[in-house]
Chains A and B, each alone.
Chain A
Amino acid sequence: MSEFVYLFRASEADQREAMGTPERAQRSMQAWLAWMRELEAKGHLKDRGQPLDRAGHVVRGKTKAISDGPYVEVKDIVLGFIVVEAPDLEQASELSMGYPMLEGGGTVEVRPVMKMNF
């Protein structure tokens, strides 16, 4: 088994689409909870990650300039991450297809955690 990080990204418009009306918010939340339960039940959920606030700072370059962000500059912002266990990258990608925000145009980045062999 290998570990993978799912980085969830969506634009503000995607988020609005998913949460725009109370009934849609209800459906999105139900889809999320069901997906997380399924990953957990099948033993894939290694770490539930942390929710990330949208408002933050971006510190950049030599000047270490601070700007409000990250949403000002980028279309997609990172909404959060979880860590899953899967045999390989192909299956990890397959599992990520249940990510509910995909329906609304969001993306999920599947990144293998590097193995350290000492």
Chain B
Amino acid sequence: MDLSEHLFRRESGRLVAALTRIFGVHNLALAEDVVQDAFCRALEVWKVRGVPENPSAWLITTAKNRALDVLRRERTARTFAPELGRLLETEWTIAPAVDEAFADSTIRDEQLRMTFSCCHPRLPEETQVALILNILCGFGANEIAGAFLTGRAAIEKRISRGKKALASSKRLFDLTDAEFSPRLSAVRRALYLLFNEGYHGASRESAVRTELCHEALRLTALLSEHSSAAGPETNALGALMCLHAARLAARLDQAGDLSPFLDQDRSRWDRQLIVRGLGLLERSAAGRELTAYHLEAAIAAGHASASSVDQTDWKLIVGLYDQLMTIAPSPVVALNRAVAIAQRDGAERGIEELDAIADRERLKSYPFYPAAIGELELRRGHPEAARAHFAAALPLARNPAERRFLEKRVRACQTTLQDTQAPLE
């Protein structure tokens, strides 16, 4: 049997969750050691005997046996999970207690508790996201640093600080805690940031970024499976992730270059994810509250339901952006709103809106602000001005794909310029 993609990464998060259930969160490092040990054993055995039919079950059995070894050996020297207490003390109960920790439903609950623990209000949001990626998604510091364009040392520091905070708590977050609801908001926010890092992030590797989006989707689905974490706002978050993730593949054209949203080949959008997203969006309408997640999902649904740019209901989209600007204003939202207005009312109006963005100072390192102006200038027949804006965007490019895209736009302006300046026959 072949090794399935990301097998170890997927299993790492599940095994750590089960082992933390047994050892307690203060022994997180021990849980991680046991997982690493199970991986080493897998390598030794699988390379000789081949990958087993059910590699996940093989790893679970190995981790269970190691956990039992550790429990028996260190029973007197260490304290383990307070939740299991005496169950780990006698041979009568130790094996069933370990089995129970590795049951699918326990692993799901423990992953959820771990996610909630990672989103402790004392930890900065960037640390929360790094911890989730490391513990629950199995990304190493190197990969996280690559995805965030941050140095490895900085990420390592973030992770080790976060883990220290986790290990100093007596137990993982209790899902019946009074703080559940505010913590749930923090969790949704962290997953939203994680998704955005994948979707808009600056990493040059689109494969890495796609993985981040899928991990955010997976963890949001985990929230939806739990009765108290599910609900309209969680569904809205899931909807916006599905509807955006559906467009991931179409964001690069056949040559591997960035394909701007308006030019995307919509036949490459993932229909399955769109259907799932629209279903979630429908269910998200059950509550009374209209959140930013609802609006972002509704905007994405407006695009997903249109077969082309011309078929899009731009009036509806602009209206949704107006609402989004009242409850969650940001310069990037204002930028997107201006682009939608240009679609509805023409390039001229779009440029006015872009010029009028209140805190556009904050967009000064964002290449797509000058690029948006350039696009609209080109559309209204000012290739010279357009070229200047694209040229200004160029040094802001954060990766080779963005750079190539902007260079292409500069060239397009030049071609238009030459065509218009050519003497009339």
Contacts and interface: CB of A to CB of B under 8 A. Distances in A.
Nearest to B11: A22
Interface residue tally of chain A, by bracket? Answer: 20 to 34
Question: Of residues B3, B41, B43, B140, which shows the largest number of chain A Cβ atoms within 10 Å of its Cβ?
Answer: B43
A29 B47 contact: yes
Interface in B14-54: 36, 39-51
Interface string A2-32: 0000000000000110111111111011101
Nearest to A16: B36
B140 A50 contact: no
B48 A25 contact: no
Contacts of B48: 48-51, 80, 82
A26 B143 contact: no
A16 B46 CA distance: 17
B51 A33 contact: yes
B43 A28 contact: yes
Interface string B398-425: 0000000000000000000000000000
B39 A22 contact: yes
Given A26-B6, A26-B7, A20 B36 contact: yes
Interface of A: 15-16, 18-26, 28-30, 32-33, 36, 48-52, 79-80, 82
Interface of B: 2-3, 6-9, 11-12, 36, 39-51, 138-143
Nearest to A18: B43
A26 B47 CA distance: 12
B44 A80 contact: yes
B401 to A, nearest CB: 22
A24 B140 contact: yes
Contacts of A22: 6, 8-9, 11-12, 39, 138-140
Contact of B9 (A15, A26, A49): A26
A101 to B, nearest CB: 9
25 contacts: A19-B40, A19-B43, A21-B138, A21-B142, A21-B143, A22-B11, A22-B138, A23-B140, A26-B8, A29-B3, A29-B47, A29-B51, A32-B43, A32-B46, A32-B47, A33-B2, A33-B50, A33-B51, A51-B44, A51-B45, A51-B48, A52-B44, A80-B44, A80-B48, A82-B48
A106 to B, nearest CB: 12
A73 B9 CA distance: 33
A50 B6 CA distance: 26
Nearest to B44: A51
A14 B42 CA distance: 16
A29 B46 contact: yes
A79 B44 contact: yes
A22 B137 CA distance: 10
Given A22-B8, A29-B46, 5 more contacts: A19-B43, A21-B142, A23-B9, A24-B140, A50-B48
B2, B44, B46 pick with most chain A CB within 10 angstroms: B44
Contact of B143 (A23, A28, A29, A80): A23
Nearest to B134: A21
Contacts of B139: 21-23
B364 to A, nearest CB: 36
A49 B48 CA distance: 7
Contacts of B41: 51
B170 to A, nearest CB: 28
A23 B7 CA distance: 9
A79 B42 CA distance: 12
A2 B192 CA distance: 60
A79 B40 CA distance: 10
Nearest to B5: A26
Nearest to A80: B44
Contact of B3 (A33, A51, A79): A33
Most interface-central of A22, A48, A51 (chain B CB within 10 A): A22
A30 B141 CA distance: 21
Contacts of B12: 22
B43 A26 contact: no
Nearest to B13: A22
Given A22-B39, A26-B8, A26-B9, A36 B142 contact: no
A25 B40 CA distance: 8
Contacts of B141: 21
Contacts of A29: 3, 8, 42-43, 46-47, 51
Contacts of A49: 48
Contact of B47 (A15, A16, A25, A36): A36
A25 B46 CA distance: 12
Nearest to A49: B48
A52 B51 CA distance: 17
A26 B138 CA distance: 11
A38 to B, nearest CB: 13
B47 A33 contact: yes
A80 B47 CA distance: 10
Contacts of A16: 36
A25 B44 contact: no
A36 B49 CA distance: 11
